[in-house]
Amino acid sequence: MRLLATQQSGAGTMRGGAFPQHSVRRIRPSRLVIHAFLLLLSFLFLAPLILMISASFSSETAISQYGYSLFPRSFTMAAYQYILQDPSQILTAYGVTVTVTLIGTCAGVLIMALLAYPLSRKDFFLRKPLSFYVFFTLLFNGGLVPLYILVTHYLQLQDTLAALILPYLVMPWYVLLLRTYFAALPRELIDAAKIDGAGEWRIFFRIVVPLSRPALATVALFCALVFWNDWYLALLFINNSNLVPLQYLLYQISTDITVLQTSSQAFGVQVPALSAQMAIAVLAVGPITLAFLLVQKYFVSGITLGGVKGD
């Protein structure tokens, strides 16, 4: 902060406000310091990722001799060869994660939007009580033990894909967010459609959904992130190795590389444990990194997408 204070005081030409088009052409030294600092900070934020990628391309001996480093001392693909030799386990985990993410996101967004829409309608006679019903789950929850007993003892969902999807299907925060968004759509459109004889379902799918594409996309993105990154439900409910999602497989590998049943173990070949762990981690973050680069503006807009009220 002290850096900012060093700026010259006669900053009459400079605007502190939000006008990027007024950008100052001459670069002040203090500005350079700010940029240098942010650049360094950005590097620090990316460093762990670089460390991971570098380790995945390092040889096992280099890691155990020199430790992890930001640049591989000797470039090798051995770790990837090792884990991709018999990729069936990783592919299964990938399959589980992709299935869960796809089903969970599509079903979740549909169900949440269908729930949010009636709550956004001022003429819906159950709007207030049902909004509170959704909202209350944000304030109070039963915690882990009742959920665990419910899913394993009463619903008998352990070792099913449903156990990885259903608990996260309806996220109250996003329901209320969608409700706020729907409520702001012009009422005249809905009334006009009604006069033309359109039913509620038709209005929802033909008018509300197309007009709310940005909000739905953002909610879908955050839902997909939740499902893609989830290991918690698997930790609680999954024992069957065919239903292990990617993140949970990574968790298992982080403590014990031999969880990965590749053929080389049978021949007693030395396991490149340290680099192989990192290689799998790279394979797991790859898609999410790509997705982020493509749709990052939706993430940013999602964070600032309006407040949530529970009245």
Which parts of 21-60 interact with another protein (CB under 8 A)? Answer: 22-24, 27, 31, 34-35, 37-39, 41-42, 45-46, 48-49, 51-52, 55
**Residues 6 or more apart whose Cβ sits within 8 Å of residue 118:** 124, 126, 127, 130
Q: Which one, 75 or 133, has the nearer CB to another protein?
A: 133
Residue from the set 162, 209, 232, 271 that interacts with another protein by CB under 8 A: 232
| Choice from 172, 262, 272, 283 touching another protein (CB under 8 A) | 172
**Residue whose CB is less far from another protein, 200 or 266:** 200
Contacts with another protein in 266-305 (CB under 8 A)? 274, 277-278, 281, 284-285, 288-289, 292, 296-301, 303-305
CB of 98 to another protein, least distance (A): 15
- When the beta carbons of 66 and 75 are compared against another protein, the nearer one is 66
Considering only residues 189 to 218 of the shown chain, the ones binding another protein according to CB under 8 A are 199-201, 204, 214-215, 218
Q: Which x/- pattern over 72-111 shows residues binding another protein (rule: CB under 8 A)?
A: ---------------------------------------x
Name the minimum Å distance from CB 84 to another protein: 18
Residues 6+ apart with CB under 8 A from 37: 3
Q: Among 78, 114, 198, 207, indicate the residue that binds another protein (CB under 8 A).
A: 114
Q: List the one residue from 59, 63, 76, 101 that touches another protein (CB under 8 A).
A: 63
- Contact residue for another protein among 229, 264, 265, 271 (CB under 8 A): 229
Find out whether 155 and 282 touch, Cβ atoms under 8 Å. no
Provide, rounded to whole angstroms, the least separation between the CB of residue 282 and another protein.
10
How many whole angstroms separate alpha carbon 227 and alpha carbon 237?
A: 15
Residue 123 or 196 with smaller CB distance to another protein: 123
State the nearest-atom distance from the C-beta of 63 to another protein, in Å. Answer: 6
Smallest gap from Cβ 164 to another protein, in A, equals 13
d(CA 62, CA 79): 13
Instruction: Decide whether 195 or 266 has the Cβ nearer to another protein.
Output: 195
DSSP 239-267: --GGG--HHHHHHHHHH-GGGS--GGGGG
Cβ nearer to another protein, comparing 106 with 111: 111
- Between the alpha carbon of residue 5 and those of residues 8, 30, 38, 75, the distances in Å are 8, 9, 17, 46
**Among residues 220, 214, 205, 212, which one has the least CA distance to residue 186?**
212
Taking residue 255's Cβ as centre, other Cβ atoms within 10 Å add up to 8
User: Contact, 133 vs 289, CB < 8 A?
Assistant: no
| Interacting residue with another protein among 103, 162, 170, 259 (CB under 8 A) | 170
**Cβ proximity of 276 and 89 under 8 Å:** no
Burial code (b: 16+ CB inside 10 Å, e: under 16) for 216-247 equals bebbbbbbbbbbbbbbebbebbbeeeebbbbb
* Binder of another protein out of 61, 106, 192, 309 (CB under 8 A): 309
Q: Measured between alpha carbons, how far is 256 from 274 in angstroms, rounded to an integer?
A: 10
State in angstroms the smallest separation of the CB of 45 from another protein.
6
How many CB atoms sit inside 10 A of residue 110's CB? 14
Alpha-carbon distance of 216 to 211, in angstroms, equals: 10
Considering only residues 145-164, where is the footprint of another protein by CB under 8 A? 145-150, 153, 155
